[in-house]
Chains A and B, each alone.
Chain A
Amino acid sequence: MNVEPTRMLTGPGVLRVVWLPGSDLLRGTCHCGAAYLAEGPVEVWDWLLGHPVGHDAAAVDGAAELSAARR
C-alpha cells in the first residue's frame, strides 16, 4: 500500500521532506506552506533553510511546474 507516513511533528515551524515514493525526488514543504521539488537532500535543505527567499506563491507554482516537467 505504501502510504506516505503521516505528519508526526506538529509544531508551527516544522520543515518536511518527503521522498516521493516511486521516484528519486524529494518534496520539501516549508512551515510557510511553500513547497519545492528537489533532486537531492542538499538542494532541498538549502531551499527550506533559505525561507523566505523564493517561498512566495510564484515559487510554489514554479515547483509544481518543475514537478510536472519531471514526471
Chain B
Amino acid sequence: MSSIPTDQWYVAAYGREIGQELFSRTICGESILFWRTGAGEVTAMSDRCVHRRFPLSEAPSRLVDDQVVCGYHGFTYGADGRCVAVPGQTRVPRTARLKSYPTVERDSFVWVWIGDPAKADPAAVPRAPWLASPDYTTVSGMEPLKARFELLVDNLLDLSHETYLHGGYIGTPEVAATPTTTEVDDEAGIVYVSRHMDDAECPPFYAKSTGLTGRIMRWQDIEYSPPCLYKLHSRIAPVGVLPRPDGSDPDAFHVEVVYAITPETEHSTHDFWAVARDFALDDQGVSDFLAEQNRTVVLQDVAALDVLERVIASEPPGYQELSINIDTGGLAARRMLAKLVEPSAAPARTA
C-alpha cells in the first residue's frame, strides 16, 4: 500500500518555474503538465495524451494560444484539459479530456491537489507568508532526493542531527544537547517541536549573516503541517536578549526556514527549501551566502538520505529501529502521516 497521503495539497513548483511554456513534474507518482495561461493563471493537467499516452510536455508537443497540441497526432487541449480538436474528423469524443488538477498559487509556491478534486479546499493550503512578504528577503531552491519523503520528515523533525551531519555549517554541540518540547494538535494537523538554546555557540550560518560574534540565544521552533509543509522559526539573539513584554522582538534576528516535502514517487522526493530573513534585507552578499550555505546543508542531508534509502529499500520490511528522546517529534509526525493515509486505522503504535 502506498504511504503517500492523498486528498492533500502538495507544493509542485515555485511560481517562477512556470511560465507560458510547457512544464512537467511528477507529483505523488502522477505526471503533471503545468503552464501559465495568457491571463497569468497556472493550470495543471495530466501530462499524458488520452490518445496514445504521448507526453504533452515532450517536443514536438507545443503550446499555442492557451492550447496544448500533442506532438504525436495533434490532439489539442484547452486550459481546462478538455480536448477541442482531433485530426481528420470534426467529432471530438466526449470522453477526450485530460485529468485536470486544482491548483493554488500562494506564498511563492504553486500547490497542486492530489486526490478527489471535489474535496480540494484552497483555504486549507498551509501558509508560509514570509516567502512573499516585503518585510523579508528570501532565497530558495529545490533539490531532488532519491529517498522516500518519510526520511526527509524524520530528518527535519529531529534537528539534533545538525550537530553531526552539519557541523561547521549550522550544527553546534548545543543542538544535540538541548532538550525539546513537543506538541501535537491532531485537529489542526500540526506537530510542533521547540528547542530553546539560551547560551550557545553561533554557527557560521548565523555568525556571518547576522554579524553576531560570541555566544547567542538560538531558538528553533518547528511547525510541521503534514504532509507537505515544514517551517522552522529560527530566532537568533545575543545571550539574555528576550522578546519584549508586548510580544515584539526588535533586538533579535529571525530566519524562517521553510521546506516543502513533496513525494515524487514512493522512493523519491522534491526537497523544496527556502530561507527568509528579517534583517540585511538588501544585502546581496548575505543572500548569496545564505543560499550557498543552505543549499550545501540540504545537499548534506540529500547525500545521507539517498544512502539511507538504498539501505532501507534493500532490507525486508519490519526492520527494527530504536527511538530515543530526540525522536519524540518525529514519531508524532509519523503517526499523523499514518492517519492521513489510513484514517480508520486505530491509533498506531508510534515505534
The chain A residues found within 8 Å of chain B, CB to CB, are: 1-5, 7-9, 11-21, 24, 26, 40-42, 44-46, 49-50
B179 contacts chain A at the CB level, 8 A cutoff:
yes
Given A8-B192, A13-B186, A26-B325, residue A42 in contact with residue B331 (CB < 8 A): yes
B213 contacts chain A at the CB level, 8 A cutoff:
no
B190 contacts chain A at the CB level, 8 A cutoff:
yes
Q: How far is the CB of B239 from chain A (nearest CB, A)?
A: 9
Given A40-B323, A41-B323, A41-B328, residue A15 in contact with residue B184 (CB < 8 A): yes
Q: How far is the CB of B349 from chain A (nearest CB, A)?
A: 7
B181: chain A residues within 8 A (beta carbon): 4-5, 16-19
For the complex of A and B, list the 10 residue pairs with the smallest distance between their C-beta atoms, beginning with the closest.
A19-B179, A5-B194, A41-B328, A49-B347, A45-B350, A11-B185, A17-B182, A9-B183, A5-B181, A42-B351
| Residue interface mask B177-209, A partner, CB < 8 A = 1 | 001111111111010101110100000000000
CB < 8 Å neighbour of B328 from A9, A12, A19, A20: A19
Interface size of B by CB at 8 A reads 30
Cα–Cα distance between A21 and B34 once the two chains are bound (Å): 50
Q: Do A1 and B198 touch (CB < 8 A)?
A: yes
Cα–Cα distance between A35 and B310 once the two chains are bound (Å): 40
Q: How far is the CB of B121 from chain A (nearest CB, A)?
A: 19
Q: How far is the CB of B346 from chain A (nearest CB, A)?
A: 9
Q: Do B325 and A19 touch (CB < 8 A)?
A: yes
B301 contacts chain A at the CB level, 8 A cutoff:
no
Q: How far is the CB of B348 from chain A (nearest CB, A)?
A: 8
Given A8-B221, A26-B328, residue A46 in contact with residue B185 (CB < 8 A): no
Given A45-B331, A45-B335, residue A13 in contact with residue B187 (CB < 8 A): yes
Q: Do A5 and B196 touch (CB < 8 A)?
A: yes
Q: Do A7 and B183 touch (CB < 8 A)?
A: yes
Other A-B pairs beyond A5-B196, A11-B188, 20, CB < 8 Å: A1-B198, A3-B196, A3-B198, A8-B221, A13-B185, A14-B185, A15-B185, A16-B183, A17-B181, A19-B179, A24-B325, A40-B323, A41-B323, A41-B325, A42-B323, A44-B328, A45-B328, A46-B349, A49-B335, A49-B347
